[in-house]
Amino acid sequence: MNDSRSRTQASHKQYSFGTWTLVALVVGNAVGAGIYTTSGFALADLGSKEWVMLAWFVAGLIALMGALSYGMLVQGLSDSGGEYLYLSRSIHPLAGFIAGWVSLLAGFPGAIAFAALAFATYTLSALPNLNAVSADLLAVSVIVIAGFIHIARTKSGAKMHEAIVAFMLIALLLVMLFAAGQFYFSTELPVTSDEPLAPFSIFAFANSLVWISLSYSGFNAASYVAGEVHNAKRLVPRGMLIGTMLTMVLCVGINAIMVYGAPIELLRGQADIAVVAAEAMTGKNGRRIIELLIAISLLTSITAMVLAGPRVYAKMASDGALPSLFAARSGQPPRMSIVLQVSSAIALVLIADLRGLLSYLGFTLSLCLALAVTSLFVRHWRLGEKPKSRWYPIAPILFVSCTVTFATLSAVNDPKQFYAAIPTVVMGALAYLISKRGLK
């Protein structure tokens, strides 16, 4: 009965997303504030530019293993929902609910709020004529606009997101070509250090990797909309892999320009490392151009998350884990879930300590991703579903072991990340018990 109902529902599905939309979703989620800010803090922790670039490269390889692993997950469970779907179907509904709870509480709204405030900061700095507008108002406005883009029609929202991502990619390509010319013709670039390589610290490297991994965490974004993709088992893994490879090229290339574009003394510990490097290389005009480019990148991140996140809440609602009004109707965007996410993000912009909220986000999300990939082995052992991929089990083992190891080392180095994650898990478990009791 359930199988026939599933087939009937599948036959009436309207598919909205193609390969380029999936690639744009991955790139848009990944290329946000982190790519332009993390290296300044990594330089302070690691002490040498070479270790920072190694961290970006290693994190990119881990993300590629994650994209391959999530491709295997989609081939087994090709519906929308991401970690919530994989954990609830493979391990236990409680595990899935907690993963969805993390997404609902901070994973998407917190990241959207942070990106929106960063968007406002860079926009106001690049366009001083707008200084009469408060940063909070500009941040709220861009969140609301992103909500309206996706709440009207799924396809029109996806097309708008694709256009913004395409514009960003063209702009980033032009910046990279200009910087390559600067590095080739200038006798002062690249800026290297005469100091010996700083001693390698595995704990500092792990801590930097956890933060850098946030810039790659969008590799799984396409899995959240898999249920709205025709031939998802083929297209979603392809979109995630292409998007992650493109993200890795951008992350490594842009950060190499920033790290070697100015002396380490100017960059170490700087949150605005991209702006500092741009001004050192090209002056104030270059600084404003980079600020606008960062703002555009943040806009793609916001629109991508407003597109992907509500699909998790809609899937939870269709399973009865959230009220049914948050579910999506066939062929329609999950409008009430979009309203929920936009409202949560706006509330965080206005009332929350976002830096405190996001301080543990990399650690918590890393563990959620690792647990989701672990469900591949659970399904293999419990259900006999062995993924049909030449990368199994190599990619999942590498992703889980690297993610858990570096997250653990990071927590040892900064235990606050671990302690801050505990209330989230406890609150998620209590919310799950309340929701189950409410259904009886």
Helices 109-126, 335-351: crossing angle, 10 deg rounding: 60
Cα 378 from Cα 383, distance rounded (Å) = 8
Q: What torsion do the CA atoms of 416, 224, 337, 295 make, to the nearest 10 degrees? A: 70
Specify the pLDDT at position 431. 80
Mean pLDDT, residues 83-91: 92
pLDDT band for position 399 (cuts 50, 70, 90): very high
Specify the pLDDT at position 253. 93
- Residue 233: phi and psi, rounded to 5, are -65, -25
Specify the pLDDT at position 356. 54
Weakest-pLDDT range from 199-203, 265-269, 328-332:
328-332
pLDDT band for position 37 (cuts 50, 70, 90): confident
Q: Model pTM greater than 0.85? A: yes
Cα 414 from Cα 210, distance rounded (Å) = 11
Render pLDDT for 158-198 as a digit per residue (tens, 0 to 9).
888 889 999 999 988 998 998 889 888 888 888 887 678 88
pLDDT band for position 46 (cuts 50, 70, 90): very high
Cα 365 from Cα 73, distance rounded (Å) = 17
> Is residue 74 pLDDT above 90, yes or no?
yes
> Is residue 331 pLDDT above 70, yes or no?
yes
Using the CB atoms, write b or e for 395-418: b if 16+ within 10 Å: bbbbbbebbeebbebbbebbeebb
Render pLDDT for 350-375 as a digit per residue (tens, 0 to 9).
876 555 555 556 677 788 889 999 99
Specify the pLDDT at position 360. 57
Specify the pLDDT at position 375. 94
Specify the pLDDT at position 432. 81
Specify the pLDDT at position 50. 94
Residue 266 CB burial class (10 angstroms; 0-12, 13-18, ≥19):
middle
Cα 230 from Cα 250, distance rounded (Å) = 28
Cβ–Cβ under 8 Å, residues 173 and 165: no
Percent of the chain with pLDDT over 70: 92
Cα 343 from Cα 248, distance rounded (Å) = 32
Cα 65 from Cα 59, distance rounded (Å) = 10
Specify the pLDDT at position 362. 66
Mean pLDDT, residues 78-97: 90
Q: Which residues have C-beta within 8 Å of that of residue 227, sequence separation ≥ 6?
A: 13, 78, 79, 80, 81, 311, 315
Q: Count CA atoms closer than 13 A to 424's CA, side-chain side.
A: 26
Contacts 24+ apart (CB under 8 A), 120-123: 122/275, 122/291, 122/292, 122/294, 122/295, 122/298, 123/291, 123/292, 123/295
pLDDT band for position 12 (cuts 50, 70, 90): very low
Cα 399 from Cα 271, distance rounded (Å) = 28
Specify the pLDDT at position 355. 54
Mean pLDDT, residues 253-280: 88
Helix (H), strand (E) at residue 381: helix 361-383
Cα 169 from Cα 229, distance rounded (Å) = 24
Residue 5 CB burial class (10 angstroms; 0-12, 13-18, ≥19):
exposed
> Is residue 201 pLDDT above 60, yes or no?
yes
Specify the pLDDT at position 235. 93
Measured at the CA of 331, the angle between CA 326 and CA 333, to 5 degrees, comes to: 40
Mean pLDDT, residues 82-98: 90
Weakest-pLDDT range from 103-107, 178-182, 406-410:
103-107
Structure tokens that stand for 206 in this block? 């792990």
